[in-house]
Structure 1
Amino acid sequence: MTSRRVRTLAIVTLAVVLPLGVVAVVRAGDDGGGTARPVAAPTASATASPVPTDATVIMPGRPGESATSRAAGEITDTGAVPHNYMDVWFVRMMIPHHAQALQMAELAPDRAADPDIRAIAARIRASQGPEMGFMRGWLQNRNLPAEVEGHDHGTMRGMQTPEALARLAAARGADFDRLFVQMMTAHHQGAIELATDLLTVGADQTLNEFANSVATEQTVEIGRMHELLAR
């Protein structure tokens, strides 16, 4: 067979094989010239496409944390993440629960006498705002509505009444600090109970990690607030 016939057969073979896959260009790590190199995606008969272990993958951080980069070789495909009724219920309840905590924390800058109380309130605003965004996104990604028709969020554990919120808004100085600690402690305890319930029966691993973080951080904040009043 002549070299010309070999080249012709090779071209025909490529014309048949290439439509079965897609050629992807991946930016590898240091390939000597810093250039992109093509990597063939799997054909119809392949089971998985090889991913260069030196490629970089951006991983989203936990709620309130920045994204990080990891080598592709460190990432494994876990497939679809299952969730159950308790996961959905937890997210739907925790969003308005966080919203009320933010409502109370936003009163502190103009009313609190103790700068440490203002600092705790600022921490609550900085953490629970992004956490609400995370939870809303969790529902949206699953085409689930955030609202529960007919549910009174005011009956949830730790939720403060409109009258209590009005008293907090009217307080100033040391009176505000005392009321804030009392009300936010009860509010945090309610959130910790909700998180603990999820950790018992929840199926979504990401939500379990989030609930554990909520329980841990809010327990610490309760201790800090009580230390401030005891000074």
Structure 2
Amino acid sequence: MTVRQARVWLPVTAFVALLATGGVALAGCDDTAPAAARPSQSTTAPATTAPAPAVSAPPVLVPGRPGEPAATRAAGQVRDAASPRWNSLDVWYVRMMIPHHEQALEMAKLAPGRAADPRVRAVADRIRAAQGPEVGVLRAWLSTRDLPAEVTGHDHGTMRGMQSAESMRQLAGAHGAAFDRLFVRMMTAHHQGAVVISTDLLRVGADPAMQEFANGVAVEQTTEICRMRALLTP
């Protein structure tokens, strides 16, 4: 039984107990009836009413932490001490990571027609395959909480790893080996910024889903940085 079910079960059992004790009290209300309506007194000892059995709440199954077994607790020992599922820093991370990912996608889309090294094109393909769906996940996270994705008054260009408009124009105008070198340099810096932002969230965020997401970003983009650095090795 989940904690939520236990909270629903407790009022029900309390209501059952109230009905049981209330039934005995209602039987005693017959004394208020008119004398003519009362049964004639008898020397026979009145029958005693057996007390209603006590109704106890069933135990509650409390889930353990990841990798730990569940534990059984008495219902009275379980309190609704759930912490908020997300905080303002989770929201900030999601809102910042959307344009951060979108710039990476913009760079990756340039590679098929400009890169000379097939390994650079392969890196760009992996970035598009991973970060495209991740933008959808981030937007859905905000949508389910009725939170807007836009942030007024914030310059996304100040985020770690974000490339300037001039750098993006240079990348779009480059071809061949020049494009490969510029792409690797810019995307490496871009990934490094995402790793820092995601690692910061792991220390201050509250939402389990965003903790998992940020951890995945940090691990995957760190691996991608190593692959890109290997491309520049003579």
Q: What range is the shorter-chain TM-score in? A: 0.5 to 0.7
- What letter is aligned with 2:213? F
What residue number does 1:91 align with?
Answer: 94
What residue number does 2:202 align with?
Answer: 199
Q: 1:45 aligns with which of 2, 12, 24?
A: 12
Gap regions ≥5 residues in structure 2: 1-8, 14-56, 59-81
Pairing 1:223–2:226 present: yes
Q: Distance in 2 between matches of 1:148 and 1:165?
A: 22
Give the TM-score normalised by structure 2. 0.65
Q: Distance in 2 between matches of 1:93 and 1:146?
A: 9
Give the TM-score normalised by structure 1. 0.66
Pairing 1:145–2:148 present: yes
What residue number does 1:82 align with?
Answer: 85
* Greater percentage in helix: 2
1:94-124 per-residue CA deviation (whole Å, 9 max, x = no partner) reads: 0000000000000000000010100000000
1:68-117 per-residue CA deviation (whole Å, 9 max, x = no partner) reads: xxxxxxxxxxx896101110000000000000000000000000001010
CA RMSD, Structure 1 to Structure 2 (Å): 2.4
Find the residue that maps to 1:150 and give its secondary structure: coil
Q: Distance in 1 between matches of 2:139 and 2:83?
A: 19
* Greater percentage in strand: 1
What residue number does 1:114 align with?
Answer: 117
- What letter is aligned with 1:227? A
1:172-206 per-residue CA deviation (whole Å, 9 max, x = no partner) reads: 01100000000000100110111011001000011
1:115-156 per-residue CA deviation (whole Å, 9 max, x = no partner) reads: 010000000000000000000000000000001111110111
What residue number does 1:156 align with?
Answer: 159
- What letter is aligned with 1:110? G
What residue number does 2:106 align with?
Answer: 103
Q: CA deviation at 1:228?
A: 1.1
Stretches of 4+ moved more than 3 A in 1? 44-48
Aligned length in residues: 164
Q: Distance in 2 between matches of 1:174 and 1:229?
A: 11
